[in-house]
Amino acid sequence: MLIKKFDPLKKKILEVLDYKGNIVDEKLEPKINDETLIKMYKTMLLGRVADTKALQYQRQGRMLTYAPIKGQEAAQVGVIAALEKDDWMVPAFREMAGMLYKGADLKQLFLYWYGNEEGNKFSKDLKILPISVPIASQINHAAGVAYASKLQELNEVTVAYVGDGGTSHGEFHEGVNFAATNALPLIVIIQNNQWAISTPRSVQTIAETLAQKAVAYGIPGIQVDGNDPLAMYIATKEAKERALKGDGPTIIEALTYRLGPHTTSDDPTIYRSDEELKYWEERDPLIRFKKYMIDKGLWSEELEEKQIEENNNYVNKTFKEVEGTGLIDLDEVFKYNYEIMHKDLEDQINDYKEFLESEGK
């Protein structure tokens, strides 16, 4: 088993492509059909363009606080590409590329950062849970989803995302342990992007790896080059196979880097060096995957240029639609709190409506 071979306690890291895009070990190269590879690359590229533009919109005062994904596209797309339609995705809040791959609409994803709950209303068949802001709390939801899958004998796995900072949280511990003790079909992806706002990974734990936390739960954990979509793909495939066999959860630590700020409110130049950024910029997942795609004859500079232009237009058009949505109606604010609204809440709305009417609104 691959996961056992890459023991985090022995400092083994799974990689298929080196940072320049050369294959490290041909035996590890997954057999992914061309169509899927192209979808993976295109989604990563779309994620990048959407991310770049979201930051611009925010700087122009057109978008609210946004959490950039730049540099983490492979850790997301590589994972979701290894899933089936029936599998669940439980995001934290920095997984836009993965959500796009799973079928979420960009307009909707933008709506969330635009300040509209509509952005979290994914149609049930997408099997994407809403963005979860309280750190690591979503791991427990994912464990619960996986519990229900197992009990109802549904042939599906759940992938949960968490960051390096999230692994310090009690919610992470409780969720992973619950999944382990019940042998649940869960895959926990730790996007170790090295920073939790301004706090470096070294402050979160003195353990050498985050993957090794799995050892204490009695489950496998593996460190993967998170900027290598192929490595993330094969690790996820194997974790999924284990999960469906009833062997329980797996922790995959994706070694990646947040090339942008934590959110648009953050200034990373305060706490990290230019050298560090440069080191990771060279390890940008898009650089290596593009080379791999070109080497395979599936991509070219012309296609790249054309695709970026297409993405630019698509993202601009999408954001214009988002801007056209405006403010939320009063009734929308109230009507989803309960299935059936209680009387007092109705009274509160009506009082407020009376006031609005008195103001001539």
Partner 1 sequence: MALMTILDAVNKTLDEQMSLDEKVVSFGEDAGFEGGVFRATKGLQQKYGKGRSFDTPLAESAIIGGAVGMAVNGLKPVAEIQFSGFVFPAFNQIVTHVARYRNRTKGTYNLPMVIRMPYGGGIRALEHHSESIESLFAHIPGLKVVIPSTPYDTKGLLTAAIKDPDPVIFFEPKRIYRAFKQEVPETEYQVPIGKAKVVKEGKDITVVAWGALVRETEKAIKLLEKENISVELIDLRTIQPYDKETITESVKKTGRFLVVHEAYKSYGPGAELISMVNEKAFLHLEAPPTRLTGFDATIPLPKGEHHFIISPNRIASEIKKVVNF
Q: Which residues bind partner 1 (CB under 8 A)?
A: 88, 90, 117-118, 120-124, 129-130, 132-134, 137, 139-152, 154, 158, 170-171, 173-175, 177-178, 181-182, 332, 335-339, 342-345
Nearer to partner 1, 128 or 259 (CB): 128
User: Hey, CA dihedral for 141, 145, 146, 147, is it positive or negative?
Assistant: positive
Question: Nearest-CA neighbor of 285 among 243, 231, 326, 321?
Answer: 231
Q: Phi and psi for 241 in degrees, rounded to 5? A: -60, -45
Catalytic residue status for 338? no
Nearer to partner 1, 118 or 247 (CB): 118
Shortest Å, Cβ 209 to partner 1: 23
The one catalytic residue among 262, 283, 288, 292: 262
Catalytic residue status for 141? no
Nearer to partner 1, 10 or 124 (CB): 124
The one catalytic residue among 62, 271, 279, 352: 271
Nearer to partner 1, 90 or 251 (CB): 90
Long-range interactions of 264-272: CB distance < 8 A, separation 24+: 264/55, 264/58, 264/59, 264/63, 264/65, 264/66, 264/68, 265/65, 266/197, 266/198, 268/195, 268/198, 270/198, 271/195, 271/198, 271/200, 272/195
Tokens standing for residue 178: 């619950």
Catalytic residue status for 262? yes
The one catalytic residue among 201, 242, 258, 283: 258
Shortest Å, Cβ 211 to partner 1: 21
Report which DSSP code applies to 329: P
Shortest Å, Cβ 208 to partner 1: 26
Contact 141, 179 (CB under 8 A): no
By CB atoms closer than 10 A (0-12, 13-18, 19+), residue 167 is buried
Shortest Å, Cβ 148 to partner 1: 3
- Residues annotated as part of the active site: 258, 262, 271
